[in-house]
Amino acid sequence: MEINEFKTKVLVEDNNIIAVDFDGVIHQNSKGFHDGTIYDEPVEGVKKGLEYLSKSYKLVIYTCKANPDRPLINGKTGSRLIYDWLVEHELDSYIYDIVYEKPNAKYYIDDKAITFTNWSDVLWIV
């Protein structure tokens, strides 16, 4: 594959993906890591938001909970815990994938993000 073909393929695929952080965006996560389980309810309005976005985009959850080096919790990987939680809350049909590393995407939805405009503004916020 030539570089231009590759660039076109990446641009097309990336423009069809929205990456969504799990904790604090989908799962309330009120206790932080706590005991490694996924213990909280969904964030208010998440079902409606995921349903709407999934009509036009592939939604990919990115989360450190999916880290393959993370210890098993109740015999399950973090990705399995998340998937089971999504099923329990009827959100699984809106999600294309669950990954550990930040995926290429058109947009990122993250509760801890700082929107970058320039370094002066970023340093002022931090």
At residue 21, φ and ψ (nearest 5 deg) are -65, 150
**CATH number of the domain enclosing 84:** 3.40.50
The string of pLDDT tens digits covering residues 34-52 is 999 999 999 999 999 999 9
Give the Cα-Cα-Cα angle 17, 18, 20 (nearest 5 degrees): 140
Number of domains the chain contains: 1
The string of pLDDT tens digits covering residues 8-29 is 766 777 889 999 999 999 999 9
Q: Select from 41, 52, 116 the least CA-distant residue to 85.
A: 41
> Strand (E) positions, 1-126?
17-21, 58-62, 95-99, 107-109
pLDDT exceeds 70 at position 1: yes
Domain that holds residue 63: 3-125
Output the pLDDT for position 116.
Answer: 92
Query: What global pTM score does this model have?
Result: 0.89
